[in-house]
A and B are shown apart, each in its own frame.
Chain A
């Protein structure tokens, strides 16, 4: 008969509760390592990065006062429901003359009602009952009447004073039509296309010449290009302004196009670098087959350089679409022909506090860039890895 001690050493000890927890934790750590913290960190920073866009998108769908409120809420219309506020009527200064009477009528007729209403927006989701409690008309006995409140609410909605939508997509309509943003988008588009075409043509031809030919003054051209690419734009803004002014380029869109093409000229190096990697046998083959230098360039070399052409086109597009300073200088006197970046800037006057309108305009400006990014994502990442050009 075996002796039985109080501790039976043959049986495995069952771990206590605390030990089990740590053991499980260590097991998990050994299985996954840094994965969870890493992903959590990446998600967090990703969120931080994307937050401005989310803010912009949601603000563009809020009403004016909702946008201005101190409570930062990313989902529009979450707490603002039936009774939001009266929608003011927007007009553009350029239309002042044509719509003068109409505007005055609005101002004078609606004003009182609007004013009083604007001050009493309801910050929470409200039901007709709550509305009645807070704003309802009192009946003869001094009690607030729910039925009347509903009718009143309905009336206000029909008058267009009250918005019953969660997401105010009308902001876009206002910005596009009333504030004439279709003009600005068109202008931006036309300018950008022109800039992309000019930039791709000139930088590809210049890059090709630099890569393939020897000519007197080649080093000088190189030096000038590098100088232009390296000099910080802000440092030379005064002489540039002077140049634009004296060349009378401010009096039209072409000045802007020229300038925007010029700042993309650093792409020439990308082109030259790529053309150097095209095997010269292919071009020699074209020469032996009877193609002169120009024909070889357009039928053989340029199509072979498609990736880098797309990269340069992309950079040129972004520069032209987003540039602000020189277009501002060039189009100060022509509010109709301002590209988007400048047009949004002019919100600072009449509509400075209208965050919802500003956001909508900014969203309009950003949408093409996002679309391009979605479609050309891989190309863009490759370009940035290969190109290493600022911008």
Chain B
């Protein structure tokens, strides 16, 4: 049980590639923190720095208050589960599980007891004599977790452990890992690229992009209050619809002028975005999630829209409709580039999520309403939320 503190952590590779930049994270004792982001965003590098497998180029790493920048991984008393499990192929499952304890010079009796207990916990008793190559993916995963658990470390580090499993097994293992962590109350840092995993497993989620931490917050807060366009687009599946337009005053409220459309925005948005008036006359980015799309209802604050769905995906409990939205779509690149976000000149498709009972037809005009209480606004240049 330990706290992990990263203060201004930096990682620079020879050739001046900055993999992680100014990372500041405080992980509380017993917390389950998920680091999520697209490939190459530096999350694995940060994890490996915590483990001691990469040298820290700058900043301080503290475990339980003690600076451990130069401590070798052997001495840090943490365990790590790798993406491809990294089991010792020439040793049996039992030997794999015993290995960390042998390195700690525990007595043989103690080792056997602990291994047996752990095997029972993870339902591995019948597999103890087998070699890793004779195991299925899920079994290997459990052995890897067992090897990490067997030592009672101060922290668990997991580097995308579920990405090699099929979807069903993944869902099952997610629940098991979560349950295990709640039982042992060990500080866990979990790295994944799958935002669904992040949202379901983490107490707090740290979103990273290009080596820079974008936002760290509990999952619901990330969903409801994204700090910038990237977080808004990354969290939630399908991702948020983002369009660029110019804000103008209209009557008591505002309107957003998109290319072919003028969206009326009610005054009530000022409660959530009090600084909105400052941006009148400027280009801002509007975002709304597919869940904000409804069948036409005459609610206050709802923006009515007549659209022609181009594609309808029927999922049983809901239907996803893809319709063209007359505005300049904002595409979010996973790599931050020096140039602006790429502008799609053509109309791009917006996604809406409708209940399964509705029956929209492709090519047939449909009347929708967007709930403006669920609008998000972002600055055009920086991408930060208003």
Q: Which residues of A contact B (CB under 8 A)?
A: 279, 281-282, 284-292, 295, 299-300, 303-304, 306
Contact = CB atoms under 8 A, between A and B. Distances in A.
A289 B79 CA distance: 7
Instruction: Point out which of B52, B72, B103 has the most chain A C-beta atoms below 10 A from its C-beta.
Output: B103
A295 B103 contact: yes
A285 to B, nearest CB: 4
A285 B86 contact: yes
A289 B147 contact: yes
B99 A289 contact: yes
Given A288-B78, A288-B79, A289-B103, A303 B86 contact: no
Contacts of A292: 74
8 contacts: A281-B82, A281-B84, A284-B80, A285-B86, A285-B88, A288-B53, A290-B104, A291-B74
Contact of A279 (B76, B80, B84): B84
A284 B47 CA distance: 13
A290 B90 contact: no
Given A287-B53, A288-B52, 9 more contacts: A281-B82, A284-B53, A285-B82, A285-B88, A289-B99, A289-B103, A289-B147, A290-B100, A303-B91
B73 A287 contact: yes
**A285, A288, A292: which has the most chain B beta carbons within 10 Å?**
A288
B14 to A, nearest CB: 11
Contacts of B90: 303-304, 306
Closest 6 pairs between A and B when the two form their complex, measured CB to CB? A290-B103, A281-B86, A289-B100, A285-B86, A303-B90, A281-B82
B89 interface: yes
Contact of B103 (A281, A291, A303, A306): A291
A215 B263 CA distance: 65
Contact of A290 (B74, B82, B86, B87): B74
B20 interface: no
Given A284-B53, A290-B74, A279 B100 contact: no
A291 B151 CA distance: 14
Nearest to B79: A288
Interface of B: 51-53, 72-74, 76, 78-80, 82-84, 86-91, 99-100, 103-104, 147, 151
Name the residue among A282, A295, A306 with the largest chain B CB count within 10 angstroms: A282
A296 to B, nearest CB: 9
Contacts of B91: 303
A292 B83 CA distance: 22
B13 to A, nearest CB: 14
B48 to A, nearest CB: 8
A320 B78 CA distance: 47
B80 A285 contact: yes
Contacts of A304: 88-90
B79 A286 contact: no
A282 B89 CA distance: 9
Nearest to A291: B103
A295 to B, nearest CB: 7
Contacts of A281: 82-84, 86
| Most chain B CB neighbours (cut-off 10 Å) among A295, A299, A304 | A299
B184 to A, nearest CB: 18
A288 B76 CA distance: 8
Contacts of B79: 288-289
Contacts of A300: 88
A287 to B, nearest CB: 5
A290 B104 CA distance: 7
Nearest to A303: B90
A286 B88 contact: yes
Nearest to B95: A299
A292 B53 CA distance: 13
A111 to B, nearest CB: 66
Nearest to B151: A289
A247 B89 CA distance: 45
A287 B74 contact: yes
B88 A288 contact: no
Nearest to B48: A284
Contacts of B51: 284, 288
A287 B48 CA distance: 12
Contact of A284 (B86, B88, B99): B86
Contacts of A284: 51, 53, 73, 80, 82, 86
Contacts of A282: 86-89
B80 A288 contact: yes
A275 to B, nearest CB: 15
A291 B103 CA distance: 6
Contacts of A288: 51-53, 73-74, 76, 78-80
A256 B88 CA distance: 38
Nearest to B159: A281
B131 to A, nearest CB: 12
A99 B320 CA distance: 105
Contacts of A299: 99
B222 to A, nearest CB: 30
Contacts of A295: 103
Instruction: Pick from A279, A287, A306 the residue with the most CB of B within 10 Å.
Output: A287
Contacts of B52: 287-288
A291 B74 CA distance: 6
A16 to B, nearest CB: 66
A46 to B, nearest CB: 37
Given A289-B100, A290-B104, A279 B86 contact: yes
A295 B80 CA distance: 19
Contacts of B88: 282, 285-286, 300, 304
Contacts of B74: 287-288, 290-292
Nearest to B104: A290
Nearest to B78: A288
